[in-house]
Structure 1
Amino acid sequence: MRQTEREGPRETLRTRMGWLHGWVGFLCGLCLACIFATGTLTVFDTELTRWMQPEINVNTYVAPTDTALREAARIVRSQQAQGISAFLNLPSHRFPVLQVLHYNGHEFTGDILDPRSGALIQARETAGGKFFYDFHYTLRSADIGGVRIVNILGVGLLVAVVSGIVIHLRALLPDLVMLRLSVPPLRSWLDGHLLAGVLFLPFMIMCAYTGVLVHADRLFPAQSAAAHHHGGPGHHGHGHGQPPPDAAALLPVPPLGPLLAQARENMQGRDCGFILFAADRITISASDAAGPYMSRDHVDFSLPDGRLLATTLNQGRVATTMQLVRGLHYARFAPPGLRWLYFISGMAGTAVITTGLVVFLMKRRRKSGHLVAFRLAEGVTISVTAGLPLSMLVYLWANRLLPPALPGRDMWEIDLFFTAWGLCLLHGMGRALTRHAASGWREQLGGIGVLGCGLPLLDILTAPGAWGACPSLHAAVGGVSLLAGSVALYAARRVGRVA
């Protein structure tokens, strides 16, 4: 009797946690799947941008020459005189060119220069991998609201993870040992969801926790407004950068080479990442990839003489902790092997969320499958699970098929992505409402298969020179798309077990 009394509260807790895990996991998971998928691609956003600009023929990192730096500074000043808040992004091993960038409301975009000669490289306009980064943390919202939504969803992910641990903890070991892939579909999908969730649980918790911490100030309107107006440029800046200085007050810029050398020395040997140009001073900031502690350490020099004004090193326990949190979340410091580990873990995390969505629907199909609300939910799930990767591939295909000189082609690529995704949503909901959900799954998965398997061939036909200049990059993009297409075709053949 006592054992029964003890088990009663435990079962009640598991039942309540099961309800919480299911509903919070499903409602938040529809957006979290998109956030995780785009965040996974963000690990290689720089490489994707290089792939999407095959005209760039600089493939090896070299330090920018004085000639190139002088020309870049001239372009920055010219754009500032026109009221454009431009800054200079320095070459790195991942993207070995000079960039004169400005914030367009979503991404940092602008001119590309050869670091040796300073010559302008006529590359096609594209948001590149930065589009996925922007979508990942703002849901492509031009205001702070998107960041707040993503933060709330991150909290929802932590709730789903904790409740999932509670309901599965007691039977965790037997379920892992007895992975049942040949039993009824619901059991095998649940086992796959559980196995992937346990193996990649630390990564998912780390991403959710650090992501919430990085943007925690955005949950509070007063503080987020200040951060929005004072955020600096760079991959983890969220504002519009510094306001452009008054054109009449612009002072000449001295040679930048010696200033970069001094800034690096003052920042304890860390590489420099970008340079901000104010009316009477310039600010040289540390690179995001300088180490696991992502800071905004910087050195200020006066204009026009280049005299050292100040060195700002953000130190202290709180500052250092937040620098590590940012570094772990963005992984800009990571070497290629560690970035691939992030990528694989991100894909697995996305799979955990999407399999959870499928399990949620399968558990309720018998009782609720006739309801319009259930069919709408399945239609949305189809468009998230299959429609989103299909639209990502449309985005990459658009990059190769749109004319390189098309005005505003970067927005054309993005518009085609959202158009494809919108059509996937209409298609999925149409199939689900007419009780042909299985056909909806098969057709969208088949679309992924065709576009994914066809992308390497398209790349070879439309950018043969880029393959010769940087074969590893193009082979990696083609290999991942081919793998995704093959998996989708296999899944399309077995989709009858889901719907």
Structure 2
Amino acid sequence: MRETLRTRLGWLHGWLGYGAALVLTCIFATGSVAVFNMEITRWMQPEVQLATLVPPGALALDAAARLVAAEQARGVSAFITLPSARSPTLDVVHYNGHEFVGARLDPATGAAIPARITAGGGLFYNFHHTLFLGPQVGTVIVNIAGMALLVAIVSGVVIHIHALVPDIILFRLSAARLRAWLDAHLLAGVLFVPFMVMMAYTGVLVKADMLVPAAPRPARPVQANTPPPAPMPDLTRLPLAPLLAQARASLPGQEPGFILFAPQRVSIFAGDASSAFLTRDHADFTLPEGTPLPASTTATPIARTMQFMHGLHYARFAPPGLRWLYFLSGVCGTAVMASGLVLFVMKRRRQAGHRWTHRLADGLNVAIIAGLPAAMLAFLAGNRLVPASLTGREDWETGIFFMAWALCALHALFQALRGQAHRAWQAQLGLVGLLGASLPVLDLLCSPAAFYTLPGLHMAVDGMGSGAAMLALYARHKLRRQDT
């Protein structure tokens, strides 16, 4: 009975795990990088060279309000994001369907910073949450993959629980390739299974309403003589600095993060980095008078629990050290998924290696494990190569990412279906090495002033590219030795 259960769970873990891991590898890889989405956006805008955080002054806030009014007049729903330790500029942004883009202002003077428009780290953040398929379809797919991960983890623990300790202690990297890959998969899985469970569970929970929507509310009857919506008041006559000071007093312990405008009121929301509880508490003021209204806070146990789940998953409260821990844990979680993909193909090569379905799976592995990092590095390199003044350059950057990935996928599938998957591995791992090694050179040549003004930021991003290059070139070297 026990062996039958383990056999069935092994089938479930293998097939469900493989199908989910194709998506989960992409989700974990982009999510790991998206932990530093704001820092990546700063790297991709080298014109912004503010090294220290400066509280926004009255002149800067008034300049931002004028920009919001101009955007509202054009029919664009813009809002203000306040400076923070991770993003020290005062921004007037709007959502273009994928990212928040807009103008960046000096928080001390209100002068516009001529920064290039970029997709920034928001591309990785958006892909992690929606696979760039939109907030409805993409979020549902990601949630289903998250639930499949929880099932795969439980089945994997049951399968290997009887020999888990010996397999971890006898970590056999020098053994046969299949045994070494299995040991690596088990070791990384055991060490980081708490992180993977936490991220999968919280990720599914915070978006559960996409899978199980609430019952629709009855529609209100339409009145024949409904008055037209009130026009937006003149924001240029409303000083925001006094309202910001009042909002700080109304939201004790929470630093204001962004300002939204409506025809009847202005709302100043608490910043996401205020605490581990990701709230949407806000202080409201009437327009155009600026009369304070009661602050809106959520304090019920269920609401606080959900806020904590949001905070754990998004990690916007995390200081730099914890943020790096999230990043490294996410990278190791990605390694668990990637090694599972490789194991699935290796275990079935002897029986099904001649079939086109097996070769297709081999090609998909190359496209995901090597092609995705190549596309991510091409996206970063493209930021330095696309002209800064080009109209719609954020779309060009996004196009570089998807075009590079598509070309890698086509190359991988072409070689794999010919039975030459090892050539695709070598070529694309070499491409990752080339792109990653060239990233610091491009950064230094194209933006030397920003490199010297913010050396820590640029060395961190360039270092991640160089680290990916070294890992890829080492894997390529090992693969070539095994093939000879």
TM-score band, normalised by shorter chain? over 0.9
1: distance between equivalents of 2:423 and 2:313? 38
Match for residue 182 of structure 1 among 164, 171, 174: 174
Aligned AA for 2:31? G
Match for residue 437 of structure 1 among 421, 428, 435: 421
Name stretches of at least 5 consecutive residues in structure 1 with no aligned partner: 1-8, 227-244
Partner of 2:307: 323
Match for residue 277 of structure 2 among 293, 311, 322: 293
Match for residue 28 of structure 1 among 11, 20, 25: 20
Aligned AA for 1:254? L
2: distance between equivalents of 1:113 and 1:252? 16
How far apart are 1:248 and its partner, in Å? 5.9
1: distance between equivalents of 2:165 and 2:232? 71
**Paired residue secondary structure (1:200):** helix
2: distance between equivalents of 1:110 and 1:221? 32
Partner of 1:378: 362
Partner of 1:232: none
Match for residue 106 of structure 2 among 109, 114, 120: 114
1:219-368 to structure 2, matched below 5 A, reads 219-221=211-213, 247=231, 250=234, 253-368=237-352
1:130 corresponds to 2:122: yes
2: distance between equivalents of 1:225 and 1:108? 30
1:160-179 to structure 2, matched below 5 A, reads 160-179=152-171
1:10 corresponds to 2:34: no
Partner of 2:82: 90
How far apart are 1:269 and its partner, in Å? 2.7
1: distance between equivalents of 2:217 and 2:41? 30
Deviations 1:207-235 (A, max 9, x none): 00000001000113566999xxxxxxxxx
**Paired residue secondary structure (1:458):** helix
Deviations 1:344-403 (A, max 9, x none): 000000000000000010000000000001111111110000000000000001000111
Identical amino acids, percent of aligned pairs: 55
Aligned AA for 2:70? S
In 2 relative to 1, CA 253–310 (structure 1 residues): closer, same or farther, beyond 3 Å? Answer: farther
**Paired residue secondary structure (2:269):** strand
1:45 corresponds to 2:37: yes
How far apart are 1:58 and its partner, in Å? 1.3
Partner of 2:93: 101
In 2 relative to 1, CA 248–452 (structure 1 residues): closer, same or farther, beyond 3 Å? Answer: closer
Partner of 2:46: 54
Deviates more, 1:166-175 or 1:251-260: 251-260
How far apart are 1:310 and its partner, in Å? 1.7
How far apart are 1:343 and its partner, in Å? 0.3
Partner of 1:201: 193
How far apart are 1:121 and its partner, in Å? 0.9
Aligned AA for 2:164? L
1:408 corresponds to 2:392: yes
Match for residue 149 of structure 2 among 157, 165, 170: 157
1:481 corresponds to 2:473: no
Partner of 1:424: 408
**Paired residue secondary structure (1:110):** strand
In 2 relative to 1, CA 332–224 (structure 1 residues): closer, same or farther, beyond 3 Å? Answer: farther
2: distance between equivalents of 1:467 and 1:68? 26
Match for residue 77 of structure 1 among 69, 81, 91: 69
Name stretches of at least 5 consecutive residues in structure 2 with no aligned partner: 219-228
Aligned AA for 1:168? H
**Paired residue secondary structure (2:284):** strand
1: distance between equivalents of 2:163 and 2:388? 56
**Paired residue secondary structure (2:51):** coil
**Paired residue secondary structure (1:55):** coil
**Paired residue secondary structure (1:171):** helix
Deviations 1:107-137 (A, max 9, x none): 1111111101111111111010001000111
Deviations 1:87-116 (A, max 9, x none): 001000110001111111111111111101
**Paired residue secondary structure (2:80):** strand
Contact 1:111–1:120 (Cα < 8 Å) also in 2: yes
In 2 relative to 1, CA 280–250 (structure 1 residues): closer, same or farther, beyond 3 Å? Answer: farther
**Paired residue secondary structure (2:148):** helix
2: distance between equivalents of 1:153 and 1:284? 36
Partner of 2:372: 388
Deviations 1:263-297 (A, max 9, x none): 11211131001000111210000000000000100
In 2 relative to 1, CA 273–224 (structure 1 residues): closer, same or farther, beyond 3 Å? Answer: farther
**Paired residue secondary structure (2:294):** strand
**Paired residue secondary structure (1:169):** helix
Aligned AA for 1:267? L
2: distance between equivalents of 1:225 and 1:477? 47
Contact 2:233–2:288 (Cα < 8 Å) also in 1: no
1: distance between equivalents of 2:6 and 2:324? 36
Aligned AA for 2:320? P
Q: Provide TM-score, normalisation by structure 2.
A: 0.95
Match for residue 204 of structure 2 among 176, 194, 212: 212
Contact 1:217–1:223 (Cα < 8 Å) also in 2: no
How far apart are 1:246 and its partner, in Å? 5.2
1: distance between equivalents of 2:334 and 2:293? 47
Q: Provide TM-score, normalisation by structure 1.
A: 0.93
1: distance between equivalents of 2:216 and 2:407? 35
1: distance between equivalents of 2:315 and 2:476? 34
Deviates more, 1:305-314 or 1:149-158: 305-314
How far apart are 1:86 and its partner, in Å? 0.5
